[in-house]
Structure 1
Amino acid sequence: MCQLVPYPWSVVTPVIVLVGILDAGVSSVPGSVFLADGDNPGEWPVMHERPPRISRLLNATTRSHKHGGRNSHNTGESHRNNRNVGEKRRSLSLRHAVATDEHDAAAVTETSTRDPAIPLNPAGYDNPDLLLGAWEEEPTVRQTDAEFGGNNGSIVYAQAGMTASIPCIIKNRKDHETVSWIRMRDHHLITVGRQTYSSDDRFSVTYTRHLNKWTLHLRYPQARDEGTYVCQLATHPPMTFLSTLVITHAKSSILGGPEMHVEEGSVVQLTCELRLHSAPPEYVFWYHNGSMINFDSNRQVSVQKTDDGSVLTLKSVNLTDSGNYTCQPANAQSSYLMLHIIMGDAPAAMQVSSSPMLRQLQYIQNLLLITSAYLFIIVL
């Protein structure tokens, strides 16, 4: 026999009433909505201040939701209403963010501020919604009185092993306009002002105020140092002056070579000239058959240095002055000349040496020639 147990309605009834009160109270708050399953409030655009039109729409939506919540007794229908309200809220927020209709666009236009002095963007857009920031147009004319002197893109020749000097003349430069030197091939910053930033200690910079000249110096340049160097002035936009460095290998040559014939007792001048050099040589050494003769007091020689080389003077040459003469400039390739001394009708110096043994052989040879000529006369 089944016995019915009375259901404790006294316990269930307060719970139902409490749920209804909470549902009505939350829905009555202006602008409040329910989150349906799948709605993520983090995806909604942040609204710090609601426009009047959207606030009215939200209030109308919440009133509709409140009315539906009171008359609905189905849990599934309530969830559907909540989802619809969430979608409406998200749609309204999105419409506010992009200003799709004319009313919202007008509202954004009224609240936008733009300095009329700021130029429009180059495409001609005059829509404040698309103006993300102030458009700054680069000036077509530099705001400076500075100007470079000389020919931009000039070539500077430097001799290998010497010191290369690349000048940069800047007129009317202001104190805040800094001068920098940059190597173009790798954008290596060499100097800024008078400070050297390169790890290569061969670089240095000097400033000659009365000439307005900034000179980049490179000691002992090599072939790998060739290329373009940029003198940059810190203006807006920056000003640049380009110079191309070319490394040369100086060569020397003795005029009248490689052989020269002179008569005994004459004065001989040997001129050594340099080619492909960037500066006068620091020194030029002369050698006769391997021995230096610049400071030889036992011989009647004199050495005069010139801008392009050196001149060796031999006074009253004789048989001992014949042989090889070598010109050896500093940081340049050497050159040589063979000097032949003619005694009467016969050459007296045809070998490159002045040793006693060879001089004795030459003497015997000359004696035999004279004897043969004498015997030929007697026979006749």
Structure 2
Amino acid sequence: MAQCYLILFVLFMYSGSLEGASKRFFTDFLQELPTPGTGGPTFDSTVPANITGLVGKTVKLVCRVKNLGNRTVSWVRHRDIHLLTVGRYTYTSDQRFEAMHSPHAEDWTLRIRYAQRKDSGIYECQISTTPPIGHSVYLNIVEPITEVIGGPELHINRGSTINLTCIVKFAPEPPPTVIWSHNRQVINFDSPRGGISLVTEKGVLTTSRLLVQKAIQQDSGLYTCTPSNANPTSVRVHIVDGEHPAAMHHGGVSPNCRLSHALLLLLSLAITFRLHHKIRWKSSKKLSST
């Protein structure tokens, strides 16, 4: 009888150890296996992996993970192998970086506020599998350039058309709006002045052309082009009577250009004279030989 109790006790202890081992097996091994029928966590490749942001603006890097299960998602900066976020927590002293995630959502977002040029580079979204798997996102922080052709000073003949062309380049997207102002006042295209029109063409290179017909003295002053997603730029317009000593915006020729034309004429004359002299010398030499 005692031997039976001993056997039952051993079986009970053995079953307890099996239960513990089973729990450890599920904890240490099976949790790393993909959920049946799902194939394990994967990255959504349809999310853009090349992001362009503006200096001083907020940028968001999105990593979309399917079938994550009980694993975690982290963001790592390649430049210095710096761990930025783990799950919904931020692990950097730079307060411009922040982890963003909504419960039960597939998107794990790294938000960068007040982006700087130095933030450009590769960032990797990592899943805590064994071994970890990652998805790289390239960030390019740019500072758009706004310029007015012919600036910063333009001289326009009175009575002619003021033609100002503003160019916006290196912007991640065309500016939604481009505003022109004259002496810090937004130009009113319906004003009694009349003869003012604007033509804007949006694209990789956005151009905005301001036309002011029959220029008068009151049209002189500072004209400013302000794109909605780039820095403004200005040009000062002078309305003059007749040709101005400086380069004219319409029909004028600069002194440097006149000098170039004169030098070109002298060079052409010199070449012509030398060729003519050489031909005469050859002709005289042929006659003497005969």
Q: State TM-score, norm by structure 1.
A: 0.42
SS at match of 1:264: coil
CA RMSD of the aligned region, Å? 4.6
Which of 184, 196, 216 pairs up with 1:292? 184
Write the distance in 1 (CA, Å) between the matches of 2:104 and 2:150: 47
Shift of 1:232: 0.7
Other-structure match for 2:91: 197
Write the distance in 1 (CA, Å) between the matches of 2:201 and 2:101: 30
Aligned residue pair count: 206
Q: Is the CA contact (8 Å cut-off) linking 2:41 and 2:69 kept in structure 1?
A: no
Q: Is the CA contact (8 Å cut-off) linking 1:262 and 1:339 kept in structure 2?
A: no
Q: Is the CA contact (8 Å cut-off) linking 1:264 and 1:342 kept in structure 2?
A: no
SS at match of 1:274: strand
Q: Taking every aligned residue pair, what percent have the same amino acid on both sides? A: 31
Q: Is the CA contact (8 Å cut-off) linking 1:169 and 1:213 kept in structure 2?
A: yes
Check 1:333–1:208 CA distance in 2 against 1; reply closer, same or farther (3 A cut). same
Shift of 1:302: 7.3
Which of 163, 180, 184 pairs up with 2:58? 163
Shift of 1:271: 4.6
Q: Is the CA contact (8 Å cut-off) linking 2:158 and 2:216 kept in structure 1?
A: no
Check 1:152–1:302 CA distance in 2 against 1; reply closer, same or farther (3 A cut). closer
Q: Is the CA contact (8 Å cut-off) linking 1:250 and 1:276 kept in structure 2?
A: yes
Q: Is the CA contact (8 Å cut-off) linking 2:198 and 2:211 kept in structure 1?
A: no
Which of 225, 229, 244 pairs up with 1:327? 225
SS at match of 1:224: helix
Q: Is the CA contact (8 Å cut-off) linking 2:83 and 2:92 kept in structure 1?
A: yes
Other-structure match for 1:16: none
Shift of 1:219: 0.8
User: Who wins on radius of gyration, i.e. which is larger?
Assistant: 1
Check 1:311–1:336 CA distance in 2 against 1; reply closer, same or farther (3 A cut). same
Shift of 1:160: 1.1
User: Does residue 251 in structure 1 map to residue 145 in structure 2?
Assistant: yes
Check 1:299–1:198 CA distance in 2 against 1; reply closer, same or farther (3 A cut). farther
Q: Is the CA contact (8 Å cut-off) linking 2:74 and 2:86 kept in structure 1?
A: yes
**Where do 1:215-294 residues align within 5 Å?**
215-254=109-148, 257-258=150-151, 264=159, 270-279=164-173, 286-288=180-182, 291-294=183-186
Which of 141, 147, 151 pairs up with 2:42? 147
1:154-180 Cα deviation digits (max 9, x unpaired): 44322211112222232x323413211
1:61-108 Cα deviation digits (max 9, x unpaired): xxxxxxxxxxxxxxxxxxxxxxxxxxxxxxxxxxxxxxxxxxxxxxxx
SS at match of 2:186: coil
Write the distance in 1 (CA, Å) between the matches of 2:208 and 2:187: 14
Greater RCO, CA 8 A, separation 6+: 2
Structure with greater helix share of residues: 1
Structure with greater strand share of residues: 2
Write the distance in 2 (CA, Å) between the matches of 1:208 and 1:305: 40
